[in-house]
């Protein structure tokens, strides 16, 4: 069974925008014929009556092949490149050499998001983007600020939540989402910003009030030639055309480089014991249920040092670092320190749900089973260390690697997994069009080379792999299933097959006679 296709948010109504004004402002060629548009869309499934349909080159074809379908669904005009303008349609066909380069500006104009938008908080980095975004939304909830969210896990407008597609939506969807937020009275929004989103112009037309940087580590070298190019893709977020101010973590060496290269006012944050920073995070307690920490900040207006002592319902110093980053981002956005301190020092601390981020899916008396989205060597190291710190018994690691993605990180993933665990189970993840057996073989070979004699198991089917891991565990042990996190599908030869690691883990626990935690899954 195929997984459901996420449904994007769109505003309930949009004031018509004269197509002639778009042609004049964006250098589009063609006769607009007096037409006005009320929205803009890329895929035919997103087309609504009154939309401008953008027909451009995609991964598996050109949008011009679907232009007639879009018109049939209500599109009143089509924009494409000159090479695909020969379309037999009853609506205006406009052209521009590179449609993607004007997409964000067009969407901003049609949805009026340059003039009307909530406070915008953008977060980038290799790991921790989603967690920081959800911490921001949770903090805004505590402050009673109507808020929105766009993360890898979900899109949210107030209380309404929907499953996400891309980490950073296409510009058409993102501007429509912001317009819907404005319509719903949202005052502040957290948006996860990927390197690909910046490189592929999905963030065009948006300027963040505060940008946050978590870290940078080995990942996505299938999209970027090397780490310097990957860094450069993210660094553009910290220039005046993308953000107004920034908060940067110094917990990886790339943070200092972001600060040096930034073109906007910047403050820094780091875990205690690391680099000197404006703000520091000191972890004071770690348990299976929570991590407590103190955020230390500089004096303000002659007063003493500012401190906030709070807790988060997830594991690890790296998660405390993400929470600290979220707090300082809100301070930089203008929220009052004393108000934040008041809500965060309440007994519940920062009570927020992080879907598929070291999410504990087991109940009392069972081996602790955590499902996590981490899929890089750095993420494995941090999360395994966090699990180890609160586990009296053994740590069992279960993971697979993405097919048709960065293959250079696989040996490092396997080494991090075997070095941080007592038992390792290798399974499949998203094989896509790659041979899953060959992916597993490369992971197992790297693991054996890193730790000869380490207990290793191979089980290709993840449904059986989690049951194997549970059978190997005893109460007091912990299982970390890294990779699938919140996702509700597996990509097998281009088909998004319905699948939930959290659901399978709970079922495996119950079949073994253990109690599972209640489901909080979306979708």
Q: Where are the domains of the chain?
A: 17-100, 119-344, 359-511
- How far apart CA 254 and CA 124 sit, in angstroms, is 12
- How far apart CA 403 and CA 495 sit, in angstroms, is 13
- How far apart CA 57 and CA 98 sit, in angstroms, is 10
Residue 222 is predicted with a pLDDT of 82
Residue (of 164, 200, 157) closest to 181 by Cα position: 157
In degrees rounded to 5, what are phi and psi of residue 53?
-95, 130
Q: What is the total residue count of the chain?
A: 523
Which DSSP category does 221 fall into?
T
Residue pair 325/132 in contact (Cβ under 8 Å)? The answer is: yes
Residue 435 is predicted with a pLDDT of 96
The CATH architecture assigned to 359-511 reads: Alpha-Beta Complex (3.90)
Residue pair 163/522 in contact (Cβ under 8 Å)? The answer is: yes
In degrees rounded to 5, what are phi and psi of residue 155?
-110, 145
pLDDT tens-digit profile of 472-489? 999 999 999 998 888 888
Residue 1 is predicted with a pLDDT of 53
The tokens describing 95, both together, are 């052209």
Q: Which residues of the chain have pLDDT under 50?
A: none
- How far apart CA 516 and CA 484 sit, in angstroms, is 18
- How far apart CA 93 and CA 30 sit, in angstroms, is 7
Alpha helices for 222-316 (secondary structure H): 227-235, 253-261
Note the Cα 407 to chain centre separation in Å.
21
**How many beta carbons lie within 10 A of that of residue 225, not counting itself?**
8
Alpha helices for 120-166 (secondary structure H): 129-142
The DSSP-derived string for 171-194 is HHHHHHHHHHHHHTT--EEEEE--
User: CB burial class (10 A; 0-12, 13-18, 19+) of residue 42?
Assistant: buried
The tokens describing 256, both together, are 């200092």
Residue (of 339, 428, 437) closest to 142 by Cα position: 339
- As a CATH number, domain 119-344 is 3.40.1190.10
pLDDT tens-digit profile of 388-437? 999 999 999 999 999 989 899 999 999 999 999 999 999 999 899 999 99
- How far apart CA 501 and CA 173 sit, in angstroms, is 28
Tokens 């929004």 identify what position?
189
Order across the sheet with 93-95: list the strands: 39-41, 51-54, 77-80, 93-95
Residue (of 22, 76, 20) closest to 53 by Cα position: 76
**How many beta carbons lie within 10 A of that of residue 67, not counting itself?**
24
Tokens 């079949």 identify what position?
511
Looking at domain 17-100, its CATH superfamily turns out to be: MurE/MurF, N-terminal domain (3.40.1390.10)
- The model's pTM is 0.90
Residue (of 377, 409, 408) closest to 397 by Cα position: 377
Residue (of 105, 87, 108) closest to 30 by Cα position: 87
Within 8 A by CB and 6+ apart from 423, the residues are 394, 395, 396, 397, 455, 457, 469, 472
Residue (of 477, 143, 187, 122) closest to 340 by Cα position: 143
- How far apart CA 152 and CA 374 sit, in angstroms, is 12
Residue 307 is predicted with a pLDDT of 95
Residue 212 is inside which H or E element, if any?
strand 210-213
- How far apart CA 26 and CA 392 sit, in angstroms, is 62
Residue pair 39/53 in contact (Cβ under 8 Å)? The answer is: no
Residue (of 286, 355, 293) closest to 326 by Cα position: 293
**How many beta carbons lie within 10 A of that of residue 395, not counting itself?**
21
């Amino acid at each position: 069974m195929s997984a459901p296709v996420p449904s994007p948010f769109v505003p309930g109504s949009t004031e018509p925008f004269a197509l002639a004004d778009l042609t004049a402002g964006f250098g589009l060629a063609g006769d607009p014929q007096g037409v006005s548009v009320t929205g803009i869309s890329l895929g035919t499934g997103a087309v609504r009556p009154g939309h401008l349909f953008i027909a451009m080159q995609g991964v598996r074809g050109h949008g011009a092949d679907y232009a007639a379908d879009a018109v049939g669904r209500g599109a009143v005009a089509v924009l494409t490149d000159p090479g695909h303008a020969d379309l037999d349609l009853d609506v205006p066909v406009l052209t521009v050499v590179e449609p993607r380069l004007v997409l964000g500006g067009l969407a901003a104009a049609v949805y009026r998001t340059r003039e009307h938008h909530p406070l915008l908080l953008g977060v980038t980095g290799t790991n921790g983007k989603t967690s920081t975004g959800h911490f921001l939304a949770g903090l805004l909830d505590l402050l009673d600020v109507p808020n929105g969210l766009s993360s890898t896990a979900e899109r949210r407008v107030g209380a309404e939540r929907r499953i996400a597609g891309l980490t950073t939506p296409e510009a058409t969807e993102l501007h429509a989402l912001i317009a819907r937020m404005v319509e719903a009275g949202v005052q502040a929004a957290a948006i996860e910003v990927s390197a690909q989103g910046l490189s592929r112009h999905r963030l065009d037309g948006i300027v963040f009030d505060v940008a946050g940087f978590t870290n940078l580590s080995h990942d996505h070298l299938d999209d970027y030639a090397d780490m310097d190019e990957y860094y450069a893709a993210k660094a553009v977020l910290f220039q005046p055309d993308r953000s107004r101010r920034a908060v940067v973590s110094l917990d990886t060496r790339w943070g200092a480089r972001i600060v040096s290269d930034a073109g906007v006012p910047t403050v820094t944050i780091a875990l205690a014991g690391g680099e000197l920073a404006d703000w520091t995070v000191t972890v004071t307690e770690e348990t299976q249920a929570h991590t407590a920490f103190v955020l230390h900040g500089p004096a303000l207006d002659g007063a003493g040092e500012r401190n906030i002592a709070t807790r988060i319902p997830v594991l690890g110093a790296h998660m405390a670092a993400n929470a600290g980053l979220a707090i300082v981002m809100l301070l930089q956005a203008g929220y009052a320190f004393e108000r934040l301190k008041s809500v965060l020092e309440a007994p519940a601390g920062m009570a927020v749900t992080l879907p598929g981020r070291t999410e504990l899916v087991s109940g009392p008396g069972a081996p602790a089973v955590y499902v996590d989205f981490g899929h890089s060597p750095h993420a494995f190291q941090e999360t395994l260390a966090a699990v180890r710190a609160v586990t009296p018994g053994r740590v069992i690691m279960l993971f697979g690697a993405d097919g048709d993605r960065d293959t250079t990180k696989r040996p490092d993933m396997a080494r991090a997994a075997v070095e941080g665990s007592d038992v390792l189970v290798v399974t499949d993840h998203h094989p896509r069009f790659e041979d899953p057996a060959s992916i597993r073989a490369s992971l197992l070979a790297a693991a054996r080379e890193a730790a000869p004699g380490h207990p290793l198991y191979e089980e290709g089917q993840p449904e059986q792999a989690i049951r194997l891991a549970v059978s190997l565990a005893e109460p007091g042990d912990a299982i970390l299933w890294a990779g699938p996190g919140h996702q509700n599908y597996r990509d097998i030869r281009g088909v998004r097959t319905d699948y939930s690691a959290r659901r399978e883990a709970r079922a495996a626990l119950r079949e073994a006679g253990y109690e599972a935690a209640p489901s909080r899954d979306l979708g």
